[in-house]
């Protein structure tokens, strides 16, 4: 039977995807509105995934805890930990669950037909009929609970997610990444830690946890993915008969709100715990919102751009900054895992080891630099760049004469300018294929300074000084 003829589903789009040699079908379950994406091909590694848009309004880690707990037994599979049993005993080629800032996913794969449908059954029953509504101890085990080793012992917190996130928050890189996202999107769900901040995980109540589950874990808020050489008709009919048809369509407000643009660049200085002998614990990052994630051209262009500038062997920007003695570790990141926007992020262990770190300031051999609102780095002064029709010329070596022992402010200004210049030169090759070129212009609007060709609809970006604070 042609899957487009299955009466329980409405076909929205059908295309042949040449790059994947697959027939692609975008469908909607008529009764619930559940969205289904099918990629049918001859790959024997069959894939299933069900995802829900989950938008936290705090940092208690409720989405993360639910991800753990729905796979701790269900109506049809009432064992303590079916996920562990599947990992040990099934023929899966992939089995996992992931919590993101705005969604939670449950993907699996197998090359065996029988095993694939067994795995799919366990996952569907777990997300729609979990034991969490009947057994509070599952929440306490995976989330958090009080614990005492002895009657006279100290009262402590414990829990799988609580301990996992304590480890995650011990990494300076992890903390920096979270703070960047929170600063760029302060009025959205991205301002919160979906995995859970140990400081706030213990604020989560069992009642709030169940409310979050019942709000978002519904077919109307789901997206289901099927891939490979499998009986698609059987899979679609099975999902409808066993689960989807048992629900009515529900209006769920899970939209990700947009961040309003900032009036000017945001600068933030933060401290984190570091050991006393950590002499390379200072970070500087330049981060910028560049586009909506659905802009496919920029999505691809910035992945190429980030690789060319920072990741490729002999990457010019990375090498120029290292040669100038600006940092001991230069790296960047392109955030492509969130719905609203994508971020280019610059992170450096700034000036180390020629830097002594103290509370709120950094001592450089060439000068004293205060880290805070008084710092003038990347203010809206000087040049910015825009798209235009006149040629734009900037020598690639203009900023390579920076000396390692130049005053700190000069070095950091040069780092920023070199970054912008190199980025624009490479961006011209990838983003201006229609014949337009970059030109130098003056900042004439009350908006954040930065390459205008990289500005997206949400032009919020910032410079971060991240200072190691000895314990």
Task: Give the residue numbers marked as catalytic.
Answer: 67, 142
Burial class (CB in 10 A: 0-12, 13-18, 19+), 411: buried
Residue 186: partners with Cβ closer than 8 Å, 6 or more residues away: 259
Q: Rounded distance, CA 45 to CA 111, Å?
A: 4
Q: Rounded distance, CA 400 to CA 377, Å?
A: 19
**Bridging pattern class, strands 461-470 and 266-274:** parallel
Largest CA distance in the chain: 78
CA count, 13 A, side-chain hemisphere, 150: 2
Dihedral of alpha carbons 45, 48, 53, 56, sign: negative
Tokens of 39: 């990629």
Count of C-beta atoms within a 10 Å radius of residue 408:
24
């Amino acid at each position: 039977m042609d899957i487009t003829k299955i009466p329980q589903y409405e076909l929205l789009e059908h295309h042949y995807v040449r790059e994947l040699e697959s027939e692609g079908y975008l469908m909607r379950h008529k009764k619930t509105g559940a969205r289904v994406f099918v990629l049918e091909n001859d790959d024997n590694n069959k894939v299933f995934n069900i995802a829900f848009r989950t938008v936290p309004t705090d940092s208690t880690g409720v989405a993360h805890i639910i991800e753990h707990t729905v796979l701790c037994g269900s109506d049809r599979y009432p064992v303590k930990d079916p996920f562990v049993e599947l990992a040990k005993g099934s023929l899966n080629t992939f089995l996992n669950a992931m919590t993101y800032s705005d969604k939670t996913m449950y993907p699996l794969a197998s090359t065996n037909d029988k095993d694939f449908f067994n795995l799919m059954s366990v996952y569907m029953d777990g997300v729609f009929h979990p034991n969490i509504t009947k057994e509070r101890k599952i929440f306490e085990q995976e989330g958090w609970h009080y614990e005492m080793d002895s009657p006279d012992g100290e009262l402590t917190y414990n829990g799988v997610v609580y301990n996992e996130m304590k480890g995650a928050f011990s990494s300076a890189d992890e903390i920096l990444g979270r703070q960047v996202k929170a600063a760029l999107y302060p009025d959205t769900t991205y301002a919160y830690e979906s995995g859970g901040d140990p400081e706030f995980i213990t604020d989560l109540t069992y009642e709030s946890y169940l409310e979050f589950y019942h709000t978002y874990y519904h077919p109307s808020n789901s997206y289901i993915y099927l891939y490979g050489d499998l009986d698609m008709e059987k899979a679609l009919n099975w999902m409808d008969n066993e689960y989807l048809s048992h629900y009515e369509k529900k209006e769920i407000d899970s939209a990700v709100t947009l961040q309003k643009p900032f009036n000017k660049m945001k600068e933030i200085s933060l401290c984190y715990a570091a050991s006393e002998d950590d002499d390379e614990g200072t970070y500087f990052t330049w981060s910028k919102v560049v586009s909506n994630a659905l802009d496919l051209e920029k999505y691809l262009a910035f992945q190429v751009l980030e690789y060319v500038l920072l990741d490729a062997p002999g990457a010019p920007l990375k090498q120029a900054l290292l040669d100038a003695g600006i940092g001991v570790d230069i790296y960047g990141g392109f955030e492509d895992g969130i719905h609203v926007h994508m971020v280019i992020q610059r992170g450096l262990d700034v000036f180390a080891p020629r830097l002594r770190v103290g509370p709120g300031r950094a001592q450089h051999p060439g000068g004293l630099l205060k880290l805070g609102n008084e710092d003038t780095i990347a203010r809206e002064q000087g040049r910015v760049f825009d798209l235009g029709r006149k040629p734009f010329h900037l020598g690639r070596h203009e900023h390579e004469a920076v000396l390692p022992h130049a005053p700190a402010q000069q070095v950091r200004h040069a780092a920023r300018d070199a970054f912008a210049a190199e980025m624009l030169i490479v961006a011209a090759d990838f983003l201006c294929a229609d014949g337009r070129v970059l030109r130098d212009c003056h900042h004439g609007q009350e908006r954040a300074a930065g390459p205008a060709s990289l500005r997206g609809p949400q032009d919020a970006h910032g410079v971060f000084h991240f200072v190691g604070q000895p314990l």
